[in-house]
Amino acid sequence: MPAKAFTGASGITMKLRKWVIVTPIVLLLAGGGFVGYKVYQNYLAEQARLEEEKKRETLYVSSEEKTVEIEQRDGEGTLTLVRGTPVETRVVPLVIKENEDDEEGKEYRLVFIDEVEYLMTDDQLSSDLQGAVKESSGFVVRPAVIYKDPSGPAIASTADTGAEVQINGFANLLPDGSVDRYKVTVNDQQGYLRSEYLVRNSSDIPDTVASFQHEREDIYGGGNAYTLDYSVVDKGNFANNPMPREVRTLYLNKACIESIDDYIEVANNSGINAFIIDIKESDGPAYESPVIKEYSPTSYDNAFNSFEAYKAAVKKCKDNGIYVIGRIVTFKDDLYAEDHPENCLVDISSGAPYTLASAYWPSPYQRSVWEYNIRLAIEAAEEMGFNEINFDYIRFPDLIDLEMDNIDFRNTYGETMAQAINKYLIYARDELHDRNVYLSCDVFGETSNDYVTAYGQYWPMMSNIADVMCAMPYPDHFAIHDYGIAQAVWEVPYELLYNWGLYITDRQDETPNPAKVRTWIQGFDTTYKDPEVVYDVNKINEQIDSLYSNGLDDGYMVWNAPSELWRYWEYVPAFYERISE
């Protein structure tokens, strides 16, 4: 910008400043009488104006964009400022005339940065930091939690893809001019929305969401047609929490804390490099958790270990180089149900909480249930130091499709089962990734099929969000001749899991950004089916060999509910065989 003529707010040109200032007495003598008095008054007015123009105030750079480019007063250069930057400005604006015919000109604020004068307009400045962010509305790009507080994790509501929101402010302005969470109103609910889930225009919603919705319009779940909307999300990759290339894992129930040294000895003398340890089972928690005490006192009263003993055991595992995964049984919780029947599935005929195999089911539709489990996960990550949180029973009860008409699902938001699981997983991922912790989720072996299961699990949807998928294709869970196998399938786990793995590969190919696959394998005997089969080290070998032959080689997890130490020692030769170089 070339230098232009400036006038002050009074309209007197800048050339007045070149007048020779003389004393009031000389002016009165020179002008004489009334004329001299008028000259003196003009002098005082000019002095007052000059003093006013010296006044400065601190304002904040304001914009709808993260940065603002401003120009030097002399037109010799520009400078980029991040919005929210405090700048010292002259109180009285300048009026710049673009040319001789420009009668009114345009007002600018003079801004002083490192002794250089720049020009800014009033709409680029705000008197307070909240006014630095000028966005007023936007659209949600994927199902998202609306938080009650600026930092979460308490839930005010949720918003679906495409929902329009009104922006009323923000939580924190970041160094690059972006914000972490916007303060929004959506569907008459107020709260905070993560900024990465918001775009300015509906046309900016990623195409992958719309195309994936269209491709899946014929999917059924729970008997109702619906669309699953999900786009590509980033996986965890945390420099301060590296995940081993191959995670070879033993399951430790909550009682194992008392003899943790024995299990560490197994790991130190085998190829095992990870433990998955109970945090909360359906019959109670593994330790005296402050979060559990707040949400479910009955659960807290039935904790198996003290907070201190549990924390010490986890630390000892990590000190021995073991990658530790915390397991949370999510939507199956007897003791929470005792404290909060209002948040559980209800048997309509009896009015009592619904049970399956004598177990109670908090509703996956209820946000308070989400919040309980996620706050527990956060506590376990921050206080106990888990590298990864694993959610088991992240589903509705199996066989639920046979009793749909007899259950009140507490479906406050009118969602399908898969939609509720999808939203919960996004919420879990966000909170754990904020803390550099990985997310894994357990799914039934049935998810290898190309449909949404009746209990809400759908492989491509879940694999797209989670860092690790942990399927449970235990051989004794299959029908006797599944995949056309002539023998009882649990007699030939290699053949069974090889066929099953082919379908998982297909599901992974359908996933926009697939997770790692770390499969649960059977570490217990098949005793309740005919023929009975002992799952010795050879059967462990067969399962692992079969999975790895299909490229499902990110590791494995040995399920043995009582965590029998003698079995784990027996399996050591199988663990050693596949140690990655």
d(CA 349, CA 69): 67
d(CA 518, CA 507): 15
Coil, strand or helix at 268: helix
User: Are 124 and 172 part of one and the same domain?
Assistant: no
* Region 7-29 average pLDDT: 45
Q: What distance lies between CA 375 and its chain's CA centroid?
A: 13
Rounded-to-10 torsion of CA 188, 189, 190, 192: -130
Both tokens assigned to 198: 């918001």
Instruction: Kindly state the DSSP code that residue 445 receives in the 8-state scheme.
Output: G
568 in Cβ contact with 250 (< 8 Å): yes
Is position 513 within any domain? yes
- The phi and psi torsions of 72 (rounded to 5 degrees) equal -65, 150
Quick one: pLDDT at residue 207? 72
Q: What is the 3-state secondary structure (H, E, C) of 79-98?
A: EEEECCCEEEEECCCEEECC
Is position 392 within any domain? yes
Quick one: pLDDT at residue 212? 54
User: 157: domain CATH number?
Assistant: 2.30.30.40
User: Are 257 and 357 part of one and the same domain?
Assistant: yes
By CB atoms closer than 10 A (0-12, 13-18, 19+), residue 372 is buried
Supply the DSSP string of 525-554, one letter for each residue.
-B-SSSS-B---HHHHHHHHHHHHHTT--S
Question: Does the pLDDT value for residue 435 go beyond 90?
Answer: yes
User: Are 43 and 183 part of one and the same domain?
Assistant: no
* Region 309-328 average pLDDT: 98
Quick one: pLDDT at residue 24? 55
d(CA 554, CA 501): 13
Is position 242 within any domain? no
Cα angle for residues 196, 208, 552 (degrees, 5° grid): 95
Is position 440 within any domain? yes
Q: What global pTM score does this model have?
A: 0.88
Question: How many independent structural domains does the chain possess?
Answer: 3
Both tokens assigned to 13: 């040109």
Report in angstroms the alpha-carbon separations of 391 from 151, 243, 421, 428: 23, 17, 11, 9
Which residues touch 290 (CB under 8 Å, ≥6 apart)?
A: 307, 379
User: Are 36 and 117 part of one and the same domain?
Assistant: yes
User: Are 314 and 172 part of one and the same domain?
Assistant: no
- Average pLDDT across the chain, whole number: 89
Supply the DSSP string of 365-386, one letter for each residue.
T-HHHHHHHHHHHHHIIIII--
List, in sequence order, the alpha helices (H) in 109-239. Answer: 207-215
User: Are 401 and 314 part of one and the same domain?
Assistant: yes
User: Are 485 and 440 part of one and the same domain?
Assistant: yes
Confidence band for 576, pLDDT divided at 50, 70 and 90 = confident
pLDDT in tens, 160-174: 989 999 999 999 999
Which one is predicted more confidently, 187 or 474? 474
User: Are 22 and 110 part of one and the same domain?
Assistant: yes
Question: Does the pLDDT value for residue 30 go beyond 60?
Answer: no
Amino acid type, 59:
L
| CA nearest to 535, candidates 502, 504, 496, 499 | 496
User: Are 310 and 420 part of one and the same domain?
Assistant: yes
Do strands 516-517 and 468-472 pair parallel, antiparallel, or not at all (unpaired)?
parallel
Question: Does the pLDDT value for residue 10 go beyond 80?
Answer: no
| CA nearest to 399, candidates 437, 344, 449, 361 | 361
> CB neighbours (10 Å) of residue 576?
13
Exposed e or buried b per residue across 327-345, where buried means at least 16 C-beta atoms within 10 angstroms of its C-beta: bbbbbbbbbbbeebeebbb
Confidence band for 214, pLDDT divided at 50, 70 and 90 = very low
* Region 232-252 average pLDDT: 95
pLDDT in tens, 397-427: 998 888 888 999 999 999 999 999 999 999 9
Coil, strand or helix at 188: coil
Confidence band for 519, pLDDT divided at 50, 70 and 90 = very high
Is position 231 within any domain? no
Question: Does the pLDDT value for residue 211 go beyond 60?
Answer: no
Domain that holds residue 164: 135-205
Question: Does the pLDDT value for residue 19 go beyond 70?
Answer: no
Both tokens assigned to 581: 């170089």
List, in sequence order, the alpha helices (H) in 155-285. Answer: 207-215, 260-268
Report in angstroms the alpha-carbon separations of 96 from 39, 111, 118, 292: 27, 15, 13, 65
User: Are 191 and 340 part of one and the same domain?
Assistant: no
Question: Does the pLDDT value for residue 195 go beyond 90?
Answer: yes
* Region 21-40 average pLDDT: 58
Domain end among 80, 109, 128: 128
- The phi and psi torsions of 255 (rounded to 5 degrees) equal -75, -20
| CA nearest to 60, candidates 93, 79, 94, 88 | 88
- % of the chain surpassing 70 pLDDT: 87
237 in Cβ contact with 227 (< 8 Å): no
Do strands 6-7 and 346-347 pair parallel, antiparallel, or not at all (unpaired)?
unpaired
Question: Does the pLDDT value for residue 40 go beyond 70?
Answer: no
| CA nearest to 61, candidates 115, 1, 118, 127 | 127
Is position 34 within any domain? yes
End-to-end CA distance of the chain: 63
553 in Cβ contact with 543 (< 8 Å): no
Domain end among 109, 128, 147: 128
Domain end among 205, 237, 261: 205
Is position 361 within any domain? yes
User: Are 84 and 152 part of one and the same domain?
Assistant: no
Is position 229 within any domain? no
Cα angle for residues 66, 69, 74 (degrees, 5° grid): 160
pLDDT in tens, 102-126: 667 789 999 999 989 999 999 999 9
User: Are 416 and 518 part of one and the same domain?
Assistant: yes
pLDDT in tens, 65-103: 999 999 999 999 999 999 999 999 998 888 887 777 766
Quick one: pLDDT at residue 209? 63
> CB neighbours (10 Å) of residue 180?
16
Confidence band for 217, pLDDT divided at 50, 70 and 90 = very low
247 in Cβ contact with 323 (< 8 Å): yes
User: 328: domain CATH number?
Assistant: 3.20.20.80
Report in angstroms the alpha-carbon separations of 435 from 211, 378, 379, 431: 32, 8, 11, 7
Quick one: pLDDT at residue 219? 44
